[in-house]
Structure 1
Amino acid sequence: MNRVRTFAPGLALAALLATVAMPFGKALPMIGAPVLALAAGAVAGMVLRRRDATGATFGPGLDVARQRLLGAAIVLLGLGLPLGSVMSVGKETAVVLLGTLLVGAVAAFFVGRMLAVDRESATLVAVGTTICGASAIAAATAVLRPDKQRVAYALGTIFVFNVAAVLVYPPLGRALGLSQEAFGLWVGTAINDTSSVLAAGVIFGAGAAHFAVIVKLVRSLAIVPLCIGLHVGRRRLAAETGAPAGSLRQVFPLFVVLFLAASIIAGLGILPGAVTAPLATTSGWLIAAVLAAIGTSLSVERLRSAGVRPLVLGGALGLILGIASLGLMYLTGWC
Structure 2
Amino acid sequence: MAKIGSMKRAASSLLILGALLSLAPFAPAAAALVGGAALALTLGNPFQGLTRTWAHRLLPLAVVGLGADMDLRAVAKAGWHGLGYTALSLSLVLALGWALARLLKVEREAGLLISVGTAICGGSAIAAVAPVIRAKEHEISVALATVFLLNAAALVIFPPLGHAAGLGQDAFGLWSALAIHDTSSVVGAGLAYGPRALEVATTVKLARALWIVPLTLGLGWNMARHNPSAEAATTPTKPWFIAGFLAVAALVTFLPGLHATGHLVAFAARRALVLTLFLIGAGLSRDALRRVGLRPFTQGLLLWLMVGSLGLVAVKLGLLTVG
Match of 1:251 among 217, 230, 235: 235
**SS of corresponding position for 1:117:** coil
In structure 2, the CA distance between the partners of 1:279 and 1:331, relative to structure 1 (3 Å rule), is closer
The code of the aligned residue for 1:42 comes to L
- Relative to the length of structure 2, the TM-score reads 0.66
Q: Which residue, 301, 304, 310 being the options, matches 1:317?
A: 304
2: distance between equivalents of 1:224 and 1:86? 14
CA distance in 2 between partners of 1:308 and 1:235 (Å): 29
Deviation at 1:77, TM superposition (A): 1.8
The CA RMSD over aligned residues, in Å, is 4.3
CA contact 1:69–1:286 (8 Å) conserved in 2: yes
- Superposed, which structure 2 residues align to 1:142-181 within 5 Å? 144=130, 147=138, 149-150=141-142, 151-171=144-164, 173-174=165-166, 181=170
- Alignment of 1:141 with 2:141, yes or no, is no
How far apart are 1:165 and its partner, in Å? 3.8
Which of 294, 299, 315 is residue 307 of structure 1 equivalent to? 294
Q: Distance in 2 between matches of 1:25 and 1:277?
A: 9
Structure 2: gaps of 5 or more residues: 1-8, 132-136, 253-257
CA distance in 2, matches of 1:90, 1:229: 18
Is 1:38 matched with 2:23?
A: no
The letter for the 2-side match of 1:277 is: F
Partners of 2:320 and 2:209 in 1: how far apart?
28
CA displacement at 1:302 relative to structure 2: 3.6
Deviations 1:207-257 (A, max 9, x none): xx44432221122212233256336635764783845344xxx7144xx35
Alignment of 1:224 with 2:224, yes or no, is: no
Render the CA deviation track for 1:175-194: whole Å, top value 9, x for unaligned: xxx66644554455345532
1:70 positional shift: 1.8
Question: What CA distance in whole angstroms lies between the structure 1 residues aligned with 2:95 and 2:25?
Answer: 33
Aligned: 1:265 with 2:258: no
Cα distance in 1, alignment partners of residues 150 and 120 from structure 2: 14
Checking the alignment, whether the CA contact within 8 Å between 1:24 and 1:33 is kept in structure 2 is no
| CA distance, structure 2, for counterparts of residue 283 and residue 231 of structure 1 | 30
Residue type at the aligned position of 1:251? T
- The two structures have a TM-score, normalised by structure 1, of 0.64
Percent identity reads 18
Runs of 4+ in 1 over 6 A off after TM superposition: 12-15
Q: CA deviation at 1:86?
A: 1.5
Gaps of 5+ in 1: 1-8, 49-57, 203-208
How many pairs are equivalent? 288
How far off is 1:78 after superposition? Answer: 3.2
Letter matched to residue 289 of structure 1: L
Within-5 A mapping of 1:74-89? 74-81=60-67, 83-89=72-78
